[in-house]
C-alpha cells in the first residue's frame, strides 16, 4: 500500500480523488461497477473484464488477501493473470484475514502492474454511472496525476467499448485439455473467448473432457478432436465484431451438434440465429441478479458480467434459419434477454454465469441440461407461454 495521491477521471469531466495502491502510474478503460459482496479475486482474474476499470460497490476490499497456488483447487484465480485495467475501492483493508491467503491485494496488483485507487465514494460514483452510463475513464496515481484538463484530454483519446474486438487478446493461442473426473462420458470443444477456469472444471465433474480451443478454430478442427458438442465461453468486447465466430456457430447449428453458450457465447448464438445485439447503459456485473427461467418457472439468483445484450422478442417463438427459437431467460430487474433456446436444434445459451465463480449455485443445473443435449435426450422444452409455474 502506498500513500501516493490518485485520481479517477471520467470522460464527462468528473474527478474522484483518493489514494493509490497497487502499481503506480496511469491506466485507461471503461469504468463499470460490480455489486458482488465477495469474490474480488475471481473478478480481477476474469478475462471478461479486459479493458475495464472495475468499481467495487462492497465497502471494504482486500480483507481476504490474495490466494495463489499451483492448481485450480489451491487458488481463487479464474485465469493466470489479472485482467482488469484498474480497480476502484472505498476502503482498502490494511491487513488480510484469511488462512488461505498467500499475499495481499496491493502486493499482487503491484506485481502485475495494475493501478488502483482507494478512498473513493463508490456509492456516489455508482449512482452517477447508473444515471450517466458506463464511460471511458483513467486512473492516475503518483507522478501521473496532472491537471484536470490534461487528464480528461488523455481519457478522451482512448477508444470506447462499442466496436471493440478483444477476443484475440484473451483467447488461448494453443489448444489445451481439462480431463474428465473419473470415467469420460463426453468430449466437448470449448471455444475460448475469455473462458473462466472453473467452467471446464464444472464439465469435468460431469464426466466431460474439455478441449479448450482458440477463437480462430474451424469446424473441421473441432471434428478432428472427436468433440460430441461445442461450448461458447464468456469473454469481453463487442459481439458485433465477431463474424468468424458467428459463422462457426452457424456451421455447428447446421450440423446439429449440441451447443451451449455462456455470456459472450449467448450473444454469438443470438447473432447466428439472426438477432441483433446492443450495448447496455451500464451493464450487469455482480452475483445477485434475479433471472427467470421460462422453461421451469424458477427464479435464479445469478452471476453476471456483461455490457452487451441480445435484441430478441420476449414471449414469442421466432422462425430462424435453424428452426424455431425463443427467449428462455429474462432479467427481472430490467427485462433484458438472459438466454436463448433452440426448439428444433440441440442448442441453448445463457447471458449469466452458471459456473458460480464467484457467485451463487442456483444455475449449475444448466450444465446438466447440456449433458442432456449430449446424451440426445434433452429435457422437454415447451414453447413460450407453456412453461410450468
* Residue that has been written with the C-alpha cell 481439462 in this structure: 178
307 is annotated as contributing to ligand binding: yes
Q: Coil, strand, or helix at residue 78? A: coil
Strand partners, 379: none
Sort residue 324 into left (φ over 0), alpha (ψ -120 to 50) or beta. Answer: beta
Q: Report the C-alpha gap between 340 and 333 in whole angstroms.
A: 18
Determine which one of 42, 250, 263, 306 is catalytic.
Answer: 263
Q: Which helix (H) or strand (E) element contains residue 375?
A: helix 365-375
Per the CB < 8 A criterion, the answer to whether 78 and 197 are in contact is yes
Identify which of 118, 126, 139 has the alpha carbon closest to the alpha carbon of residue 51: 139
264 is annotated as contributing to ligand binding: yes
Determine which one of 24, 108, 338, 355 is catalytic.
Answer: 355
Q: Which helix (H) or strand (E) element contains residue 269?
A: helix 264-272
Which residues are within 8 A (CB) of 242 and not within 5 positions of it... i.e. 6 or more apart? 165, 167, 193, 268, 271
The three three-digit cell numbers of residue 329, written as one number: 431467460
Strand boundaries in the chain, DSSP class E: 5-10, 15-22, 26-34, 52-56, 60-61, 86-88, 91-92, 115-118, 135-141, 176-178, 186-191, 208-213, 229-232, 259-262, 276-293, 299-311, 317-320, 323-331, 337-342, 347-350
267 is annotated as contributing to ligand binding: yes
Please give the biggest Cα pair distance in the chain.
Answer: 63
* Residue that has been written with the C-alpha cell 452471476 in this structure: 303
**Whether residue 353 lies in the annotated active site:** yes
Q: Report the C-alpha gap between 239 and 223 in whole angstroms.
A: 25
62 is annotated as contributing to ligand binding: no
147 is annotated as contributing to ligand binding: no
231 is annotated as contributing to ligand binding: no
Provide the annotated binding site for L-glutamine: 48, 235, 237, 264, 267, 305, 307-308
For the annotated catalytic residues, the residue numbers are 263, 353, 355
Binding residues, by number, are: 48, 235, 237, 264, 267, 305, 307-308
Amino acid at each position: 500500500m502506498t500513500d501516493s495521491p490518485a485520481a479517477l477521471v471520467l470522460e464527462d469531466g468528473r474527478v474522484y480523488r483518493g489514494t493509490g495502491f497497487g502499481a503506480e502510474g496511469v491506466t485507461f478503460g471503461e469504468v463499470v461497477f460490480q455489486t458482488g459482496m465477495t469474490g474480488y479475486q475471481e473478478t480481477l482474474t476474469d478475462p471478461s473484464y479486459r479493458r475495464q476499470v472495475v468499481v467495487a460497490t462492497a465497502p471494504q476490499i482486500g480483507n481476504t488477501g490474495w490466494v495463489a497456488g499451483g492448481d485450480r483447487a489451491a487458488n481463487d484465480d479464474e485465469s493466470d493473470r489479472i485482467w482488469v485495467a484498474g480497480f476502484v475501492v472505498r476502503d482498502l483493508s490494511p491487513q488480510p484475514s484469511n488462512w488461505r491467503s498467500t499475499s495481499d491485494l496491493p502486493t499482487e496488483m503491484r506485481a502485475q502492474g495494475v493501478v488502483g485507487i482507494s478512498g473513493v465514494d463508490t456509492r456516489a460514483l455508482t449512482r452517477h454511472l447508473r444515471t450517466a452510463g458506463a464511460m471511458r475513464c483513467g486512473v492516475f496515481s503518483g507522478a501521473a496525476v496532472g491537471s484536470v484538463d490534461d487528464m480528461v484530454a488523455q481519457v478522451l483519446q482512448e477508444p470506447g467499448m462499442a466496436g471493440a474486438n478483444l477476443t484475440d487478446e484473451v483467447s488461448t493461442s494453443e489448444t489445451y485439455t481439462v480431463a474428465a473426473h473419473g470415467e469420460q462420458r463426453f468430449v466437448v470443444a470449448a471455444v475460448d473467448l475469455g473462458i473462466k477456469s472453473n467452467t471446464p472444471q464444472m464439465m469435468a465433474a460431469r464426466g466431460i473432457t474439455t478441449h479448450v480451443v482458440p477463437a480462430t478454430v474451424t469446424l473441421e478442427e473441432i471434428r478432428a478432436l472427436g468433440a460430441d458438442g461445442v461450448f461458447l465461453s464468456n469473454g469481453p468486447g463487442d459481439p458485433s465484431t465477431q463474424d468468424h465466430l458467428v459463422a462457426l456457430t452457424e456451421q455447428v447449428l447446421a450440423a446439429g451438434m449440441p451447443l451451449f453458450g455462456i455470456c459472450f457465447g449467448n450473444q454469438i448464438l443470438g447473432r447466428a440465429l439472426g438477432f441483433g445485439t446492443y450495448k447496455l447503459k451500464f451493464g450487469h456485473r455482480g452475483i445477485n441478479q434475479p433471472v427467470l427461467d421460462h422453461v421451469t418457472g424458477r427464479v435464479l439468483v445469478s452471476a453476471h458480467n456483461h455490457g452487451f445484450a441480445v435484441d430478441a422478442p420476449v414471449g414469442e417463438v421466432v422462425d430462424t434459419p435453424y428452426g424455431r427459437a425463443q427467449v428462455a431467460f429474462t432479467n427481472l430487474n430490467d427485462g433484458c434477454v438472459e438466454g436463448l433456446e433452440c426448439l428444433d436444434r440441440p442448442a441453448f445459451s445463457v447471458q449469466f454465469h452458471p459456473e458460480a465463480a464467484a457467485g451463487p449455485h442456483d444455475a449449475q443445473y444448466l450444465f446438466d441440461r447440456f449433458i442432456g443435449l449430449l446424451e440426445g435426450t434433452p429435457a422437454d422444452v415447451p414453447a413460450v407461454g407453456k412453461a410450468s409455474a
